[in-house]
Structure 1
């Protein structure tokens, strides 16, 4: 819809500045334009628009499935008139990494998530609180605010801190694509949480997920897939494509 497209462009401008609004975003907006014959009633008009949007964004974007992550549809509610999202990129392109820190070992350890989870080197312990912090649109896991939050958390208590870096997928200027990619990041995070539960006795009632902007939605996707998480903090969650949409 026009409201969604305007909201998306305003969001991108606020994040990147006017010069940062790329052709990718504009081309994504153009794709949502569909022609409807004059004289049709409101219900028919809405149905035709929905069919057009689904066709435009579904071509070449059929449901995709990845072992351990599940299947990702481009049908409603993931793609609709008011949410013209393309299919998310595959996990190897999204390229999520985790950076592990603890109070006893403040050195950064890189944790691999795809295709296999590799926790070697990370001094994870199940008893302390475990915290995941996810950045948002147009940035990466090396932001100063992430380091400051990690340091403040570790100075206040013993904890396992994981910074979620999905910068390769987040710095695409096409907001619609980036927002769609959050589904993959959320699924990878949920898969890792289940791995920690099964292999390292993680207690989800001692878990805190934190996300900023689109990172808030990543945290929400993970929390929905792993019941019992005790705390989720959403900082300025991104609105375009999420506000007023189905709870999925």
Structure 2
């Protein structure tokens, strides 16, 4: 059954809503199916089941016998033998004696919440526990909750995670009651699929009033009250000419402030949540910092029905490969083939590969020997693929009294420091984000959501290096196929990379392409260009072109590519390098090598230019 068909069947099954509008579960409080938990998909959204049916339990893990030297930690073989746990805790227990002995409230706390149909016994959960403890001396708590099998279990699980979130929030409050110095800001929740929205409910429950906003509104209300005492309505009725036709708009109610330090959403679930209001799904207000990795979103204009949410849901939303069709995912793969901790406890269906890639990417970035998965802010994946978004995120200091510029591509004001930071997918993201977001809120400045894009390889290491290539033409070009081969200073060469079809380029057009090479690729030494025109080349290099028949009367001038030089930007560097060749016009089917302008290599011919 396809995903689209499955979603339609679920919709038909649940068009009959629940009769009850409210349920209450002791210390968790009451739950209703009113806004924002209404849904366009359901006549009346379901209410969460009782605590026994969901059966939330916790497992605590800590470091054990870890070398003190950080360098030896990174180089040592780290395994679950270095982890103490799991130390179990049921939902009905406030804090066990064992937990009280082990918890150190000054340490960071990581909480992992699994997806619908999964358990905390899955090997990816243990892998994440291990890597968190390898990186930091922290607490790691895994949350287990039950969901019903069958096609109708998803929507019930979407309601049940409200109870999961309330249970986790209650557990954190119990720690706070036991140790008042415990700070919610030290807590980082990681949720996969529906588990990401459960994490958002934790953050929503723990929010506090914005005292600054409430104080400001209180002062404005006092001023308004004084004005009202002398208002027109105090006059006798016979002196009132008319009632006012317009009233001042009421100020927006003060939003509550998050206390949770961070939420990481690993491909948050999309079905039902895509159209849900912000209070019923993960969004940037649920924690001081929210980062999201999208790997299985609904693909527009197709029948592909992804597991994940497509809309932006955090402060920074990463879209590897556009958020869908992850390299290496096929119908036979599960997403864990490239990791040493694969197992039968993996995904239930092969189609889950894209959905699980969010976990795989995140785990890869937690490996101290792994490369950096650099991303680039951009408005869309299409724009990113054309090489239009090449700048990284820069450090800055907010300017008081203004809506400060946050990132260079937004065109706002900023002040750079000596260090330039790129957005990197993984746990390092908030290292410079939290403080900036806090300062912006204190200054009532705009905190825009950032959509960041990157490409990946099909296997580890997933990182790629990006090279933007811009062509400078001297004459118009009607058609053809363009390909590049790149070589670094160690003569490491790529295969010939087809980049696109030439179609009616003018002499003032500067076509740009974003080419990816392995992360170990060195500084670019030369670019070999292949321009082809003709039915054979069209078929072999660009299979999407059907029925092309070249005009045999094309002049010799039209069979040449008038390429003056090539501008190259090795991202994220800001320096542009010009590459030249002695040939100003490239013949169809002939490879021409371009090297850095001004070198001896750029002054000789790369091919025989004889007639024939």
Residues in 2 aligned to 1:140 and 1:12: alpha-carbon distance in whole angstroms: 26
Query: Once structures 1 and 2 are overlaid, which stretch shifts more, 191-200 or 212-221?
Result: 191-200
- For the pair shown, which has the larger CA radius of gyration, 1 or 2? 2
Displacement of 1:79 in angstroms is 3.3
Matched, 1:101 2:61: yes
In structure 2, the residue matched to 1:50 is: none
Distance (Å, rounded) in 1 between the aligned partners of 2:261 and 2:124: 23
Q: Name which of 108, 112, 117 aligns with 2:94.
A: 117
Alignment correspondent of 2:201? 221
- Give the aligned partner of residue 92 of structure 1: 52
Q: Map 1:224-235; keep pairs closer than 5 Å.
A: 224-227=204-207, 228-235=259-266
Equivalent position of 1:48 in the other structure: none
Inter-CA distance 245–27: structure 2 relative to 1 (3 Å threshold): closer
Tell me which of 13, 33, 38 is aligned to 1:74. Answer: 33
Is 1:204 aligned to 2:184, yes or no?
yes
Aligned counterpart, 1:247: 278
In the alignment, which residue of structure 2 is the partner of 1:148? 127
Are 1:140 and 1:170, in contact at CA under 8 Å, matched by a contact in 2? Answer: no
Distance 1:95 1:12, change over 3 A: farther
**Structure 1 residues 28 and 82: alpha-carbon distance in aligned structure 2, compared to 1, 3 A threshold:** closer
Instruction: Tell me, yes or no, if structure 1 residue 10 matches structure 2 residue 41.
Output: no
Cα displacement string for residues 95-131 of structure 1 (whole angstroms, at most 9, x for unaligned residues): 00001011136121111113x4343323111011011
* Unmatched 5+ stretches in structure 1: 1-5, 14-20, 33-55
Secondary structure of 2:276's counterpart equals coil
For residue 165 of structure 1, report the CA deviation from its aligned partner.
0.5
Aligned residue in 2 for 1:182: 161
Tell me how far apart the structure 1 counterparts of residues 131 and 198 of structure 2 sit (CA, whole Å).
22
> Are the aligned partners of 1:112 and 1:118 in contact in 2 as well (CA < 8 Å)?
no
Distance 1:10 1:62 in 2: 30
Aligned partner of 1:53 in structure 2 is none
In structure 1, what is the Cα distance between the partners aligned to 2:264 and 2:192? 9
* 1:206 Cα offset (Å): 1.2
Q: Are the counterparts in 2 of residues 139 and 170 from structure 1 also a CA contact under 8 Å?
A: no
Between Structure 1 and Structure 2, which shows a larger proportion of helix residues?
A: 1
SS of residue in 2 equivalent to 1:182: helix
How far apart are residue 76 of structure 1 and its match? 3.2
Q: Which residue of 1 aligns with 2:116?
A: 137
Contact 1:100 1:163 in 2 (8 A): yes
* CA offsets 1:4-60 (integer angstroms, 9 cap, x no match): xx9xx72896xxxxxxx9xxx94662342xxxxxxxxxxxxxxxxxxxxxxx3132x
* Shift in alpha-carbon separation, 1:108–1:243, aligned structure 2, 3 A: same
5+ long unaligned stretches in structure 2: 65-82, 208-258, 280-612
2:22 aligned with 1:63? yes
CA contact (8 A) 2:39 2:272 kept: no
In the alignment, which of 1, 12, 37 is matched to residue 29 of structure 1? 12
1:57–1:73 distance in 2 versus 1, CA, 3 Å: same
The CA distance in 2 between the partners of 1:155 and 1:127, in whole Å, is 18
Kindly indicate whether the alpha-carbon contact (under 8 Å) linking 2:24 and 2:31 is maintained by their aligned counterparts in 1: yes
Contact map agreement 1:100 1:162 (CA 8 A) in 2: yes
Indicate which of 169, 174, 179 corresponds to 1:195.
174
Structure holding more strand per residue: 2
Q: Which deviates more, 74-83 or 134-143?
A: 74-83
Q: Which has the higher contact order (CA 8 A, sep 6+)?
A: 1
How many residue pairs get aligned? The number is: 205
**After superposition, what is the alpha-carbon deviation per residue over 1:70-101, rounded to whole angstroms, capped at 9, x for unaligned?**
11102233233334531111111100000101
What's the TM-score, normalizing by structure 2?
0.32
